[in-house]
Structure 1
Amino acid sequence: MFKNLIYLAILLGCLSFNTFNWPKILSEKVNKSISSTFETEEFSLNEVLVNDQIKTSLPVPINNNNLFIIKTGEIIIGYAYVGKAPSMKKEFDYIIMFDENLIIKKSKVLIYREMHGKQIGSQRWLKQFAGKSVNDSLELGKDIAGISGATISTTSMTKATNEVLYAIKILHNNEIL
């Protein structure tokens, strides 16, 4: 009996430490971003399951831990994509949150690992993506203003957003979202 309780405690500790195999800090930032964007503490993340045939047609990877339906109770309030994009020498983690109509509600850089280009994490710059839909195609310098000193990161975030929008469009057209 005592042995079973120890195993249960270890299992629960592992589950609470790491949501969807993310590092703890990333999990906390994802949850905080969703909570503040959708103005709720009570939500669940439900993985979007995509068959292998459709996955091969997508411009971004979709797996068990990066595309979610956000629900409060049984009501869908939005969607979230958590991804990585290249910066000058490393990668940064980002989240794109969509409302229930698949329009970008907010984008956020969650973890930026370099000194150069970190200006892309400012909400002033990221708010340019809000309101964009699966029918939009974004171009840096035209639809999205660049940032001096962050050329690689702004290009990367704009490209990543375009790819996510296109993937969401494919999933919507295939009645997955």
Structure 2
Amino acid sequence: MNTFLLTAARTTCALTALASGSAFATQYLSADEAQRAIFPEATTFKAQPLDLNAEQMKEVQKVSGLPARSVQWRVSSAWRGDTLLGYVVLDEVIGKYELISYAAGVNPDATIHQIEILTYRESHGFEIRNAAWRKQFVGKSAQAGLAIGEGITNISGASLSSAHVTDGVRRIAAVVQVALKK
């Protein structure tokens, strides 16, 4: 193969790699930044990894209407002095092709306090990071309002991302309800 064709082939491969979904990854917040954004009044965050047992997994599926998906959850509790403010649960869901990393802040009563998008890797659909869309989750529980069309509006052009994040948040609300609710 001549040098020109070899260079052209390498350039095409490089451009193809850059055009993949991962080339669009944007990290908005770290886990620590998300915790502080969700519970700014907290004085302490305590790592509280959660391992669900088989019975809890079944209960999460029953409460959320979704597969429990994971035994292990990355949870931190947020405290102001001796007062529990809530929990921050880190999770990832698939968008259309790539993972979306997000954090869900959950109140001690298992209602949603706030959600934050940490990393978005898709080429389209970044609108799920808009504050107005994320605000729809506040105050909702696994049984009430955490579904597309039932309290959460879909985003045109980001329908899979918005549906998958919504399902993920509903699953997290169920995990907190089943395993951590006070």
What letter matches 1:50 in structure 2?
Answer: D
CA distance in 1, matches of 2:160, 2:70: 21
What letter matches 2:102 in structure 1?
Answer: Y
Q: Report the equivalent of 2:155.
A: 147
Residues 1:161 and 2:162 are matched in the alignment? no
Alignment partner of 2:70 out of 44, 48, 61:
61
What pairs with 1:73-152 in structure 2 (closer than 5 Å)?
73-152=81-160
Q: Report the equivalent of 1:42.
A: 43
Which fold has the larger relative contact order, with Cα–Cα distance below 8 Å and residues 6 or more apart in sequence?
Answer: 2
Contact 1:45 1:68 in 2 (8 A): yes
What pairs with 1:2-13 in structure 2 (closer than 5 Å)?
none
Contact 1:46 1:70 in 2 (8 A): no
The Cα RMSD (Å) is 2.5
In the alignment of these two chains, the number of paired residues is 148
Unaligned runs of 5+ in 1: 1-24
Task: Write out per-residue CA displacement over residues 16-48 of structure 1, whole angstroms, 9 at most, x where no aligned residue.
Answer: xxxxxxxxx98x622222213322363222314
Contact 1:137 1:162 in 2 (8 A): no
Identity %: 20
Unaligned runs of 5+ in 2: 1-25, 61-67
Compute the displacement of 1:50 (Å): 3.4
Structure 2 SS opposite 1:66: strand
Contact 1:134 1:168 in 2 (8 A): no
The 3 A distance-change label for structure 1 pair 40 and 143 is: closer
Compute the displacement of 1:171 (Å): 1.6
Task: Write out per-residue CA displacement over residues 88-133 of structure 1, whole angstroms, 9 at most, x where no aligned residue.
Answer: 1111101110123322110111100111111111111111001112
Q: Report the equivalent of 1:32.
A: 33
* TM-score, L = length of structure 1: 0.71
CA distance in 2, matches of 1:62, 1:76: 24
Compute the displacement of 1:146 (Å): 0.9
Q: Report the equivalent of 2:16.
A: none
Q: Which has the larger radius of gyration?
A: 2
Compute the displacement of 1:157 (Å): 1.0
